[in-house]
Amino acid sequence: MNEDVIALVSPLPGFEGCRRVVLMAAPEIAPFARIQGLDGSKPSFLALPPQAVVAKYDQTLGAADRAKLDADEDEPLLWLSIVRVDGGDRAYVNLRAPLVINPRRMLGLQVLSADEQLPMDYPFLQE
């Protein structure tokens, strides 16, 4: 497998035909990154670390999800929240279901937080 390709443990909802993605980042667009699908319809998503939106974002991952990512308890993981832009000039960040990546194993998993205070559509940019 290509060392730059992230294998999704389970596909993102609505994109079941895509199990492999690459992460594209550049200083010019930081803190944003692009998640580019390699399979199926080859979806593309804009993402950013959830801490760029909520400074004290809880990055606790349960044991079952850590096992799915083959991640040790103290292993650093990359957390990304997907950004959705509506038809106008508004953008929303999904803080409730981030994509968590184990860079050592190049495995990714979208996790759903039990914290109902975290919105799936957190307003990021206003008109």
Q: What is the pLDDT of residues 36-73, one digit of tens each?
A: 999 999 999 999 999 999 999 999 999 999 999 999 99
The residue-averaged pLDDT of 22-45 equals 95
Q: Name the least confident of 76-80, 106-110, 123-127.
A: 123-127
Res 2: pLDDT:
62
Q: Is the pLDDT of residue 15 over 60?
A: yes
Strand-pair category, 99-102 with 78-85: antiparallel
Are the C-beta atoms of 37 and 18 separated by less than 8 Å? yes
Phi, psi torsion values for 65, nearest 5 degrees: -70, -35
Residue 29 structure tokens: 């667009």
Q: What is the pLDDT of residues 92-103, one digit of tens each?
A: 999 999 999 999
Please give the C-alpha separations between residue 82 and each of 2, 11, 49, 79, in angstroms, as whole numbers: 24, 14, 9, 10
- Domain borders along the chain are 6-125
Are the C-beta atoms of 38 and 5 separated by less than 8 Å? yes
Q: Is the pLDDT of residue 127 over 50?
A: no
pLDDT band at 86 (very low <50, low <70, confident <90, very high): confident
What class, spelled out in words, does domain 6-125 have in CATH? mainly beta
